[in-house]
Structure 1
């Protein structure tokens, strides 16, 4: 079995895409090749299964869609790459924890192509960067301050997945060059005061198709049998 097929799908409304990947996953069988869908979405807040209504502060007309992925509320909008890996974990021979690690690693490797250093934060899925120097290659030192685990950090990539019969859908978002204001209308991923950044805010002029291609290639390499 080869690497997952990468499909660049452009800008799509969220709800039909959610319905499509759910139906696609339910219809697939043991012989169905894995795919990775890459897209942008029209403005939307999506709420995970654990999502609390009080984390949506001021939606200001942006629709809020309840989903069956893990995690809390996040925002999708133009200028953000959303990758949906549709992967058979049983065929790949890994479990969910390793799958999440590989998705995060794909984001870290994508950021590294622009010399940006991505970081993991314990118990907070996604990828973060140092706000004062995102190009600093040093690892984060010491345990995070439990009173402020994101001090000095900005979130550049959010992750939320669903696994059904060992098959994955939903996925990961990478902020490239977007309007970040809607993130102020929520507690991003359930964390009050968490700063959200994109590559543009880090001083990088990256085209969304370029970022999508790089992320897709790294996901495909890490999720190949």
Structure 2
């Protein structure tokens, strides 16, 4: 089993270009697995973790409801935003500047074969990172992602998640609001959940901006520990 994960920070990159890149990495891993099965070889499969910040974009998961997008095409254009219907789980979400998006593209057979556990570990990575900033983040039963003040009238989501997996290979991932413009969430019913707010780390800390590179370093530190992985391309 290969527990080494190649870390790449793509910087500010178009959503569709990043999606295509994810698909290429995903396909390469799946093709290796198919070759191993067909030919009896034991070629190690790769693992990747991409950080990226997208321009304003709304994405709708394969089981999502288009009515949760509250803008028409002209209104999207006026806000400088794009829209894609994609092949992850979950409903609608927003990506944009000030948000740390992470896409782990892993062969889970290098780690464990349990999608539920995979999602819970991604949530735990976020929870542990936010704890370092003095925030008590939690899971909300039946709602994937990470929340604050769960079970109160003030519950608010700080991190959305949506993944795809095939042949135990993952893609898509999480979006953590760090310095996000929360006004863009007013144009959707986030994740199809009505009546709950969305927040950002800088808002919770009462800061104008939070150091995003520092947040990424903390995320990777906890990711490496939780997945018992060795990270390549970065020091943790």
Into which bin does the TM-score normalised by the smaller protein fall? 0.7 to 0.9
**2:211 equivalent among 183, 207, 213:** 207
Structure-2 residue corresponding to 1:39:
52
Greater RCO (Cα-Cα under 8 Å, separation 6 or more): 1
Structure 1 or 2, whichever has the larger Rg, is 2
* SS of match in other structure, 2:91: coil
- Structure 1 stretches of 5 or more lacking a match? 131-139, 145-149
* SS of match in other structure, 1:50: coil
Structure-1 residue corresponding to 2:68:
55
C-alpha distance in structure 1 between counterparts of 2:47 and 2:225, whole Å: 12
1:79 is the counterpart of 2:79 = no
| Runs ≥4 residues deviating over 3 A | none
The aligned runs of 1:110-149 (5 Å cut-off) are 110-130=129-149, 144=151
The aligned runs of 1:1-225 (5 Å cut-off) are 1-28=2-29, 29-30=32-33, 31-58=44-71, 60-61=75-76, 62-130=81-149, 144=151, 151-202=153-204, 203-204=206-207, 205-224=209-228
- Structure 2 stretches of 5 or more lacking a match? 34-43, 230-236
| 8 Å Cα contact 1:45-1:76 kept in structure 2 | yes
**Cα shift readout 1:122-171 (whole Å, capped 9, x = no counterpart):** 110000012xxxxxxxxx6xxx5xxxxx6321100000000011100000
Query: How far 1:3 sits from its partner (Å)?
Result: 4.0
C-alpha distance in structure 1 between counterparts of 2:100 and 2:223, whole Å: 13
Greater helix proportion: 2
C-alpha distance in structure 1 between counterparts of 2:46 and 2:122, whole Å: 18
C-alpha distance in structure 1 between counterparts of 2:120 and 2:26, whole Å: 21
User: RMSD of the TM alignment (CA)?
Assistant: 1.6
C-alpha distance in structure 2 between counterparts of 1:190 and 1:179, whole Å: 19
| 8 Å Cα contact 1:6-1:216 kept in structure 2 | no
